[in-house]
Structure 1
Amino acid sequence: MKPLIYGYMRVPSDMPDEEARRREADMEAYARAEGFALAMIFHEFEAVQRSALAELLQALQRTEAHNVVVPSLRDLALTDRLQDALVLQIECEANAQVVSLDEL
């Protein structure tokens, strides 16, 4: 059985559908290439909310998944400091590693 990985991405209202699908496909391709089963992609639709991130943390804590893929760390937050803080939160609260596709 393949280990699980979750995806997380922001979908601003001005993002074209094709771009959202391409980003999802990129996460799916990464999971497949690295031997993971992509369990679910969490979508954040509001710029100031993090409800999908909270759901992601809960899912990671409920399952044996220890990996998260994001198209970019900017999907977590716009500033480097907040990105680092959220990655640390995911690592500490859920014992999970975050992989950013734009850093590969």
Structure 2
Amino acid sequence: MSGAALEPLVYGYVRVEENAPPGAVRRLEDELRALVESRGMCFGATFYDVVPGQRGGLRELTEELRRSESRLVVVPTLDHLSRHPGVRAELLNQLRDEARATVVPLAA
């Protein structure tokens, strides 16, 4: 067995806006991937929520984080979790508590 270290695995999360212009979601994912890879880490996949108020993508992300034991999530901004500060804080706590994950925004 070689002594090569495995690159940390990172997942992305994007909340898709109803009126997102064509190609916008793909550009966001490309930016997330570029950030992760520029830091020497492995980009696993992006999870999406497209229906306002629904969190299916976030639930799937949480399950994948637990399964893979990955601990990092990148988002374009923290608003992609929620624009409401209280809800956003709850979701950050949920990811931390349920999957021991840290969420890192591409931009503040």
Instruction: Quickly name the TM-score band, shorter chain normalised.
Output: over 0.9
CA–CA distance in structure 2, aligned partners of residues 40 and 64 of structure 1: 14
- Structure 1 alignment gaps of length 5 or more: none
1:102 pairs with one of 100, 103, 107 = 107
CA–CA distance in structure 1, aligned partners of residues 86 and 15 of structure 2: 18
CA–CA distance in structure 1, aligned partners of residues 53 and 69 of structure 2: 29
Moved more, 66-75 or 11-20: 11-20
Once the two structures are superposed, the pairs formed by residues 1-104 of structure 1 within 5 Å of their partners are: 1-103=6-108
SS for the counterpart of 2:48 is strand
Q: TM-score, normalised by structure 2?
A: 0.90
Which aligned runs of 4 or more in structure 1 are off by greater than 2 angstroms?
Answer: none
Report the structure, 1 or 2, having the larger helix content: 1
- Structure 2 alignment gaps of length 5 or more: 1-5
Q: Report deviation, 1:45.
A: 0.6
- State the aligned residue count: 103
CA–CA distance in structure 2, aligned partners of residues 31 and 23 of structure 1: 12
CA–CA distance in structure 2, aligned partners of residues 48 and 85 of structure 1: 14
Q: Report deviation, 1:13.
A: 2.5
C-alpha distance after superposition, 1:39-86 (max 9, x if no partner): 110011101100000000000010120000000111111111111111
Letter of the structure 2 residue corresponding to residue 80 of structure 1? P
What RMSD in Å do the two structures reach over aligned CA positions?
1.0
Q: TM-score, normalised by structure 1?
A: 0.94
- Seq. identity, %: 35
CA–CA distance in structure 2, aligned partners of residues 17 and 53 of structure 1: 23
Q: Report deviation, 1:88.
A: 1.0
